[in-house]
């Protein structure tokens, strides 16, 4: 028992020491939109999207930005974006109209490649590679909406085998990261009346569902973001109406084992990212940012600046965050 206590104290101290060495560098952008869509390509190239149909992009590490309104849709909130390079990106709206657009010329023009009906609401986008990608949407007719592409977002269709949703179960578009994809399959987290993890196996084309211990029962509660970290998955969330509430706002799952953290993030968290080369997990929300060096079991707050989303560039050279009022941050670590 004494050894376990000493190890826990040691991990908390390591997290605390690391928290003293990193901080966000806030970048100046030309927009004031709420930016929930975020997709870094490298330490130089990063795209973001959000309210008012806004898109923006940097190709010089945030020194300068290009920006515009997607297809003139200045009333649409594009909360999901995935960029392939400085020229090609795919965006999906949250709310109505439920549309997906794509650009191949760096944002100069956008082509509508898909639209769903008036009941649709897109929550997040994820890609396995340059061809295969998925979009999660709120349930329609008792089934979760999941779209897939096999051509880099040029065309989309419904996944043939869709999982059932429970009454009052919903997904969140706070950071467009409630669904992740691996070589084995899909995993998405939910909230509202109940919170589940829905896992899809590509090989068997079957779904399984796991009830989670995260805060749930109200429309504002549940899982808001997932990330694959080491051999498991870490989830964060909570209640977006209670920004500083720390109870049951994160957990880790490895196989059938689900664990709540010993020290939780400092409030509701909407985004999460994992930096493998440093074994560092980051969680962000409107009330600040936290880090963990032990796969989400202990968290230490390192910033009170609010962000909605956080992403790691594929080359692992940079960590980006986006938030309200056009806020973009680049992690100094």
Q: Where are the alpha helices (DSSP H) in the chain?
A: 2-19
Residue closest to 324 by CA, chosen among 283, 271, 286: 286
On whether the pTM is more than 0.75, the answer is: yes
CATH class of 2-332: mainly beta
Whole-angstrom distance, CA of residue 176 vs CA of residue 174: 6
pLDDT at 17: 47
Q: What SS3 class is residue 27?
A: strand
Spell out the domain ranges in the chain: 2-332
pLDDT at 6: 45
pLDDT at 333: 77
pLDDT at 5: 44
Report mean pLDDT in 10-residue bins for the chain, 333 residues.
Answer: 48 52 95 98 98 98 98 97 98 97 98 98 98 98 98 98 97 98 96 98 97 98 96 96 96 94 97 96 98 97 98 96 98 89
pLDDT at 21: 83
Counts of helices then strands in the chain (DSSP H, E)? 1, 30
Bridge pairing between strands 66-69 and 54-58: antiparallel
């Amino acid at each position: 028992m004494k050894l376990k206590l000493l190890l826990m104290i040691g991990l908390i101290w390591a997290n605390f020491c690391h928290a003293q060495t990193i901080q966000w560098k806030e970048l100046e952008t030309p927009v004031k939109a709420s930016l929930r869509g975020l997709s870094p390509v490298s330490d130089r190239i990063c795209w973001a999207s959000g309210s008012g149909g806004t898109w923006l992009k940097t190709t010089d590490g945030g020194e300068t930005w290009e920006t515009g309104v997607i297809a003139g849709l200045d009333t649409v909130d594009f909360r999901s974006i995935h960029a392939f390079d400085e020229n090609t990106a795919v965006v999906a709206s949250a709310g109505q109209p439920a549309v997906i657009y794509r650009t191949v010329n760096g944002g100069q023009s956008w082509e509508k490649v898909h639209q769903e009906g008036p009941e649709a609401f897109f929550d997040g986008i994820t890609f396995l590679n340059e061809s295969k990608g998925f979009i999660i949407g709120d349930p329609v007719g008792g089934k979760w909406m999941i779209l897939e592409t096999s051509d880099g977002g040029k065309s989309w269709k419904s996944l043939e085998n869709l999982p059932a949703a429970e009454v009052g179960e919903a997904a969140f578009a706070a950071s467009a990261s409630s669904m992740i994809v691996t070589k084995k399959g899909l995993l998405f987290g939910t909230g509202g009346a109940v919170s589940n993890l829905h896992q899809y196996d590509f090989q068997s084309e079957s779904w399984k569902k796991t009830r989670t211990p995260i805060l749930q029962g109200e429309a504002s509660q549940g899982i808001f973001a997932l990330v694959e970290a080491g051999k498991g998955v870490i989830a964060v969330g909570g209640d977006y109406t209670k920004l500083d509430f720390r109870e049951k706002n994160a957990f880790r799952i490895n196989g059938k084992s689900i664990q709540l953290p010993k020290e939780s993030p400092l409030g509701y968290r909407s985004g999460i990212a994992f930096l493998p080369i440093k074994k560092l997990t980051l969680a962000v929300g409107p009330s600040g940012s936290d880090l963990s060096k032990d796969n989400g079991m202990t968290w230490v707050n390192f910033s009170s600046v609010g962000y909605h989303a956080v992403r790691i560039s594929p080359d692992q050279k940079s960590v980006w965050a986006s938030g309200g009022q056009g806020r973009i941050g680049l992690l100094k670590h």
